Amino acid sequence: MSEFIPVFEPLLDGNEKKYLNECIDKGWIGSNGPFVKQLEHDFSAYCCQKYGSTVTNGTAALEVALQAMKDEYSWSDYDEIIVPSFNIISSAQACIYNKLKPVFVDCEDETWNIDVNKIEQVITPKTRGIIVVHIYGLPSDMYKILDLAKKYNLKIIEDAAQAHGMTYNGKKCGSFGDISTFSFYTNKHVASGEGGIVLSSDKNLIDKVNYYKNLCFTKDRFVHNHLGHNLRMSNLQAAVACAQLEKIEKTIAIKKHIGGLYQELLKNIPAKLSKAKMPYAENHYWVFGLVLNDDIKLNAKTAMEKLAQANIETRPFFYSLHLQRAVLNLGIKDNISRPVSEKIYEKGFYIPTGLTLTVEKIEYISNQIKALF
Ligand SMILES: *Cc1c(COP(=O)(O)O)cnc(C)c1O
């Protein structure tokens, strides 16, 4: 029996402490500190976008991004945004809070990303944009999505919260969106505990993000024409994120190493594993997922319970957004079928990929998984 193995652990072995000490020594703890500006500059440059605006988390990034777009492009209430059904609640919620209607599209079986062949059939005269999410370590098929966006004049909101440093056909994820968003939550490739950023090369959009995230202050301080939010990131969080960004290539290399080991050790089990690569990308293994074969009686829940008994922490796959009570209660329902995202919730889960994992632990985890069958 191993000691408890968490599903993720960050690695804070760079300049995190040094930069935090700088903040404290100089008194820069608020949102107007130098690390905030540095992060906005360095992270947008890293992702090949012109401008960045830091926020409190990745969910807030999506919310304020849509708020800025709705204003900039004069979208109407209940205009439609296409969202992958296999995803975290944040994207659906960002639409709903902005009075936009999420329209869910199933994912594909290979990568668990949005099924690009099922997008066109849900486009209506009210469709304004697509929230593209790169899921679990492989990017969505961007060229096909960009073609559709062009054909139907749709905006792309690229949620790259799991895709820092990842590339699609050699181009950085986060560089494709009219607006792109990232999270710096503890388990992301760049982590600051909590945090996020909105990127764009359109100055007007970033100006609007800066406006709405900062209580819609005007030149006449304390005179307001609109209601916004306070979503400002602190200099302390930005300090940690700056240190993390410096060593992102090392972080990605560790993730790929862990993923490669699991591929080898688990290759013969009756489950579909995270795919190592697609023609357009290599997997970064933000997480390492497995979907148990249909003809196996075992479902994800039971497998996860058994692994928990062996001290291995796991996480279930996303529960489809179109099935969420919170969404259905608002009357957002349709007759579109989304069998893949429904099935992989029943059969899928992901296993530890913490940055401090040792080879011994990876072997132990793999052996415990094999023992399930
Ligand atoms: C983590 C994540 C978010 C939310 O980010 P938070 O910082 O936790 O709010 C949004 N979208 C995706 C795809 C994520 O993985």
**Of all residues in the chain, what percent carry a pLDDT higher than 70?**
100
Q: What are 177's two structure tokens?
A: 């969106």
Q: 321 C-alpha vs ligand 1 centroid, how far in Å?
A: 14
Cβ–ligand 1 contact at 57 (below 6 Å): yes
- List, for the chain, all residue ranges whose pLDDT scores fall below the cut of 50: none
Which runs of E-coded beta strand occur in the chain?
51-55, 80-84, 101-105, 127-133, 155-159, 167-168, 171-172, 179-183, 196-200, 271-273, 277-278, 281-282, 288-292, 315-316, 348-351
Q: Is the shortest distance between the CB of 129 and ligand 1 below 6 Å?
A: no
pLDDT of residue 272: 98
> Cβ(162) to ligand 1 under 6 A?
yes
pLDDT at 154: 98
> Cβ contacts of residue 293 below 8 Å, gap of 6+?
270, 271, 272, 347
Angle, CA of 64, 68 and 69, to the nearest 5°: 115
The whole-angstrom separation of Cα 178 and Cα 156 is 5
CA angle 146, 151, 157 (to 5 degrees): 40
Mean pLDDT of all residues in the chain? 97
Which fold would CATH assign to domain 248-371? Aspartate Aminotransferase, domain 1 (3.90.1150)
Please name the residue whose Cα sits nearest to atom 6 of ligand 1: 58
pLDDT for 329: 97
Q: Which residues contact 68 (CB under 8 A, 6 or more apart)?
A: 179, 198, 205, 206, 208, 209, 211, 212
Instruction: For residue 96, give every residue at least 6 positions away whose Cβ sits within 8 Å of its Cβ, in sequence order, or none.
Output: 102, 327, 330, 332
349: β partners? 290, 316
CATH of domain 16-246: 3.40.640.10
pLDDT tens-place string over residues 139-175: 999 999 999 999 999 999 999 999 999 999 999 999 9
Residue that has been written with the tokens 């600051």 in this structure: 192
Q: Is the CB of 90 under 6 A from ligand 1?
A: yes
Q: Where are the domains of the chain?
A: 16-246, 248-371
Beta bridge partners of 52: 199
How, if at all, do strands 281-282 and 196-200 pair?
A: unpaired
